[in-house]
Amino acid sequence: MSDEDISLRNIHRCRTINAKAAALCATQGATLEDVAIAASYSALDIATAFKGGDVHAAIEWLRTGLDLQERTVMNARNG
């Protein structure tokens, strides 16, 4: 299995866990808006750790990731 395949598998696994956590938060009374905002803060926390504590680098890294996600969605709609 390639490194890319392993990474994609890990990403899928983490997304599944995060979706289950979001559903649990909703059962505790959190709105989807609250859950989405909390998830974005959690992503920033994780990215900041990944970037060695540099929150500005983490934000730029997250922006790059969001740009990639946007292109993927747009290509799927147009293709």
CA 19 to chain centroid: 10
pLDDT for residue 35: 97
Contact 44, 62 (CB under 8 A): yes
pLDDT per residue over 18-75, tens digit each? 999 999 999 999 999 999 999 999 999 999 999 999 999 999 999 999 999 999 999 9
Q: How much is the pLDDT for 78?
A: 87
* Cβ neighbours of residue 40 closer than 8 Å, sequence gap 6 or more: none
SS3 of 59-78: the string is HHHHHHHHHHHHHHHHHHHH
Q: Count how many Cα atoms sit within 13 Å of the Cα of residue 24 in the half-sphere of its side chain.
A: 7
pLDDT for residue 79 is more than 80: no
Q: Could you tell me the pTM of the whole model?
A: 0.85
